[in-house]
Amino acid sequence: MKPNITLKLTKEILAVSNKPIPKVRLAKMVYFSFKELVMAGYYHPNDLAFIRMPLGPVPFDFYDILLTDDDIAITTTNVGLSYNRENYSLKPGVSVKSPYLSLLSQIVNQLDQYPTSSLVEISHNDSSWLDNNNGDTYYVSKNDLTPFKGIKATKLSGEFDDQLIQSKLVKGMKEEIVKDSSALEFPDQYSSDK
């Protein structure tokens, strides 16, 4: 049986990171790591589906995996964002082996230079995210497969980063509401046939 790639990547990221990672950040780390590993030849773009969410792509089975795997420990922190209070890490004694752990460690180290809000913003520039609507399931496109360059990294306090994440979530939800309302009022312009 083929291993679940979401679970495999999540455990590998948690192993090389060696620290608890909040849910939103972990989803972005899986996304960017997967793209880099596709470009390195370890995976095919269609090996992992993503759901378009206001805070960027999320592996389609991400939440189920996090809640059901016995090797993943969940701790809760007191932050303002209820959907980002859970932190994930590997339970003590869990070891992970992979042919690309060294490469993945480099990817994770690079991603660690960016606050979560910046990772969200960068993921919003990928064509597959732009070409879909919230809730759509999709695969990364060839246009998305460019090396992670990021943007100018700015050090942010955790509280300010949370505020930026909240702002991006509200903005994404408002855009979706406007689009849905417009589709109700002007169905011919928003037909799926066009």
The pair of structure tokens assigned to 90 is 């590997």
Q: Is 192 a member of any domain?
A: no
Q: Is 118 a member of any domain?
A: yes
For residue 49, the enclosing domain spans 5-185
Q: Is 150 a member of any domain?
A: yes
pTM over 0.85: no
Q: Is 194 a member of any domain?
A: no
**Cα 157 to Cα 120: distance, rounded to the nearest angstrom:** 16
Closest CA to 66 of 25, 99, 101: 25
Q: Starting at the earlier edge strand, list the strands of the sheet with 50-53.
A: 56-59, 50-53, 137-138
Closest CA to 162 of 76, 82, 87: 82
User: In total, how many domains does the chain have?
Assistant: 1
Tracing tokens 């180290």 back to the chain, one arrives at: 109
Q: Is 142 a member of any domain?
A: yes
CA distances from 166 to 52, 81, 142, 170, 180 (A): 17, 7, 30, 6, 21
Please list the pLDDT of the chain residue by residue as tens digits (194 residues): 467 999 999 999 999 998 999 988 999 999 999 999 999 999 999 999 999 998 899 999 998 888 889 999 998 877 655 556 788 999 999 999 999 999 999 999 999 988 888 888 889 889 998 999 989 999 999 999 988 776 555 554 455 445 555 555 555 555 555 555 555 555 665 555 44
Bridge partners of residue 89, in order along the sequence? 73
Q: Is 191 a member of any domain?
A: no
Q: What is the DSSP string of 26-80?
A: HHHHHHHHHHHHHHTTSS-GGGS-EEEETTEEEETTHHHHHHH-TTEEEEE---S
